[in-house]
Amino acid sequence: MAKVIFYEKPGCKNNTKQKTLLVAAGHELETYDIRTYAWTPDTLRLFFGTRPITDWFNKAAPSIKSGEVVPEKIDPDTALKLMIQDPLLIRRPLIQVDDRREVGFDIDRIDAWIGLKPVDASQQAISEELMRQDLQGCAHGNEHHHEPGKCKH
């Protein structure tokens, strides 16, 4: 079992489901609020690896949905600067185990990396149900809108 450092937006439904899967698999979680963590460009950049810049962003962030921020038109330095100013732009969760860091919650990638099989048979059904869900996108689907600052997930 791994010690997982998990950067989330508290109250986010998908982050809660992701943590449930990790705990059911026996992992120890150390959680941080992605919005209040003291990010630097160097510490944040480590989570993105060789992914395209567009994959760094939370597509449900208010400033992206409004068109104020267009990830396809941003260079890496600008992207990191914007994310530090507005952490809601950061795709969630950010996950670290030892020296490896990842962005997002691709179930197959996480399972291959640290394992998501429940350690207790009593958690099997809920884990199987969660693993069938899309835990990367917005838990409310793509067709909803929020007033600025009112997103509760």
Alpha-carbon torsion 131, 110, 55, 33, what sign? positive
φ, ψ for residue 51, nearest 5 deg:
-65, 150
Active site residue 12: yes
Nearest partner of 24 among 138, 115, 98, judged by Cα: 115
Q: Are 35 and 88 in contact (CB under 8 A)?
A: yes
Name the catalytic one among 12, 79, 82, 130: 12
Give the residue numbers marked as catalytic.
12
